Structure 1
């Protein structure tokens, strides 16, 4: 059964990936593997639109609720765990259905991708240098050893990571970039929507999250250390509602800021997945798009 393809459902947030993933799992005899990095976190349910037990419809889901909010997500750890899930699902004679919009995690699960190790002590020292010297000095140091990364990276955390990789391996960060080459049989289905329709859907979705108790969820997670979580605290909606708890924003202001941030994130996701020519795109609002998805899987597997 090792030749059963992974069926990956990708695309921007708010396009219905979760529902399609469950439907495909039911139709194909599959199990879902999560590829949304913020759904790794226990208690981050409302703000990440994590599928409820009812929405999962009896389909087994893997790699949900595997981290505390104080822990940092690791692409390397995810790669190992996701591929273990694929193997175990196939061994049961079932189909792995990967669902999520975290682009690098999707690539780590599906593609040939060598991930360099980490060293907390080295990372901490470079972060201290960043705080003391500012980003300019670190970027200049990176330019001396890895000019391509220095030109490409805009985020200070990524500059720190590139310097860490150089110190640990003696290789430029860019040498570890993934190739568009699957490690095993795979079908990628991308969901997209008309921009105006997607924006409207995202605004309604954020409003529904707020009505469902997002502020209370953030308050509970803050008690459990959300502010200290390097990854979790940056999740859409959570940083904005921490501002509400700290008196820096009203609920209305945090809601509006979350809508804007979510639209920007969806645009970045679309750019990421559109760059991959292997993705089969579907109109998430089109008639019979589930049947089109199934037909694409069948055609690709043939």
Structure 2
């Protein structure tokens, strides 16, 4: 963890402040508070908040709650576009340098674990080739997933142990064919590409479950069904990434007459809780994260101390 002196730091010394944790833990609010306290700008790392029009169901922070803090990488994709971790990495790292160049702290906020690591860590993304991928997908269609899994075990047993769904197996075989390297060699390592501090928001599981249920209920009251109805003609149903967003898939079923609003609400709550559990598993595995309870009365002070240990509070007044 870098120590920030009381002298004016150089741009390269300003760490990226990453606010992470499960959905519904208050990351957006803490990100804004840190940006205001330290002088920073927020970079969104929630993959579903990239999409224009997906506001209610992604809990996108409204303009008024941004409190004048610049927010980047919100509303950059149409619902028919596919989100790309590689493209995000390029855009996020460019923004980090630009924000540092302005003498401000980059504040990365989001619960999409791989996107956070793509911005912060040594992580290489191999290219893609539509023709190669199409050939492997054709093999999947004719020979089935077990045959491709067997092929992956022969070429890269480490990856074969880690992945099982068809899409990722196809991707692993594509990378192996294109690069001649095991897919597992491209896995991220816990090494920052530049100074960074990660702050995790902890929430006790029963409290988080209750918060998530109330959050989904609020989304429904705010018009989640109407938002889905408006986005469906724009291509929500066919978007490879957007269509899988929590709440949107469930409420498309309401439009199709396959679920009631109450059933879609319950299904969204269950799916959101499951997603939050996976997020916690991902982030808890990273020993570099400083955890602070979401309801700690000294939350902001502790977060600031994690970024600037030993720095007098008076210097933080802006």
TM range (shorter): over 0.9
Give CA-to-partner distance per residue, 1:153-202, whole Å, 9 cap, x none. 02221111111111111111100011100011101000011111100000
**Aligned ranges 1:268-283 → 2 under 5 Å:** 268-283=278-293
Separation in 1 of the partners of 2:21 and 2:215? 16
1:90 — aligned with what? 100
Q: Note if 1:9 corresponds to 2:16.
A: no
Residues 47 and 237 in structure 1, CA contact (< 8 A), matched pair in contact too: yes
Give CA-to-partner distance per residue, 1:196-236, whole Å, 9 cap, x none. 11000000000001111111111121111112111111111
Give CA-to-partner distance per residue, 1:90-123, whole Å, 9 cap, x none. 1111110000010001000000111111122322
Separation in 2 of the partners of 1:136 and 1:243? 31
1:187 — aligned with what? 197
1:235 — aligned with what? 245
1:71 — aligned with what? 81
Separation in 2 of the partners of 1:8 and 1:159? 30
**Aligned ranges 1:103-118 → 2 under 5 Å:** 103-118=113-128
**Which range is displaced more, 102-111 or 138-147?**
138-147
> What is the CA distance between 1:17 and its match in structure 2?
0.1
SS at match of 1:280: strand
Shift in CA distance, 271/41, structure 1 to aligned 2, threshold 3 Å: same
1:199 — aligned with what? 209
> What is the CA distance between 1:300 and its match in structure 2?
8.3
Separation in 2 of the partners of 1:237 and 1:129? 33
Give CA-to-partner distance per residue, 1:117-157, whole Å, 9 cap, x none. 11223223323333343321221221221122112102221
Residue 51 of structure 1, aligned match among 21, 44, 61: 61
Residues 17 and 99 in structure 1, CA contact (< 8 A), matched pair in contact too: yes
User: For this pair of structures, how many residues does the alignment match?
Assistant: 302
Runs of at least 4 residues off by over 3 Å: none
Separation in 2 of the partners of 1:120 and 1:192? 41
Residue 261 of structure 2, aligned match among 251, 273, 287: 251
